Amino acid sequence: MKKKIGIMGGTFNPIHFGHLLLAERAYEEYDLHEVVFLPSKRPSYKNIKDLASEEDRKEMVEIAIHSKPYFSVSTLEYERNGNTYTYDTMKILHEKYPQYQYYFLIGADSLFQLEQWKYAEELLKDTIFLVATRDGASYEKMEKQIQFLKKKYHAQISLLHMPTIEISSSDIRKRRAAKKSISYLVPKDVEAFISQKRLYTNGKG
């Protein structure tokens, strides 16, 4: 039986409790052996002016997950040149560690955008997706989209049940720029790191 590994991609700019809860619920609901957080380089589809450095974003993830032995962080996407795409990342993981079964964790918003991802058809055929029930999307709409993708691409997609958490990295950055508190949005040690490094103030990461 293959070891089941969850993959949690994102800029983590910064990591927050919504990310952590999604990973925790996936670990529990699908009996995963481990969840790997995979910070991305500057994504091709986002224009983020206040993107913290790769090292700072990795360190914030490490701080946030340090008490969970089944959580880890990988810099795989940092180590590649040019734009990084999920398809390429998953291909590398499958080739490097064929003994593992991978589950890519996404939010409900991404479910409706999957067809626009680079190499979407190949990715949907080769990767198992776990989709968090959040972002205000109804179960009915999500199930309809999942069935559509399964029929069209023979995709492997399952729902990941979790409460809606209205926290976003962009809101945290805006609060920092406005000199407002970010307590209870990120782990306490991450908040301290952000403050110490003066991240997300005056438009600087």
pLDDT digits (tens, 9 = 90+) for 111-123: 999 999 999 999 9
- For the CA atoms of the chain, what is the radius of gyration? 17
- Nearest-CA neighbor of 190 among 66, 38, 35, 69? 66
Q: Computed from CA positions of residues 58, 59, 63, 64, in that sequence, does the dihedral angle turn out positive or negative?
A: negative
Residue-level pLDDT at 205? 45
Phi and psi at residue 47, to the nearest 5°: -110, 90
Segment 17-31 shows an average pLDDT of: 96
Q: Which amino acid is at 114?
A: L
Q: How far apart are CA 106 and CA 40, in angstroms?
A: 14
Strand ranges (E), the chain? 3-10, 34-39, 71-73, 100-107, 128-132, 156-160
The pLDDT of residue 44 is above 60: no
Q: What is the pTM of this model?
A: 0.91
Residue-level pLDDT at 146? 95
More confident of the two residues 15 and 133: 15
Are 149 and 177 in contact by the 8 Å Cβ rule? The answer is no
Name the residue ranges covered by the structural domains of the chain: 3-167
Segment 73-91 shows an average pLDDT of: 88
Pick the CATH number of 3-167 from 1.20.1250.20, 1.25.40.10, 3.30.70.1400, 3.40.50.620: 3.40.50.620
Residue-level pLDDT at 43? 59
The pLDDT of residue 45 is above 60: no
Q: What is the DSSP letter of 75?
A: -
Q: How far apart are CA 50 and CA 160, in angstroms?
A: 30
More confident of the two residues 200 and 165: 200
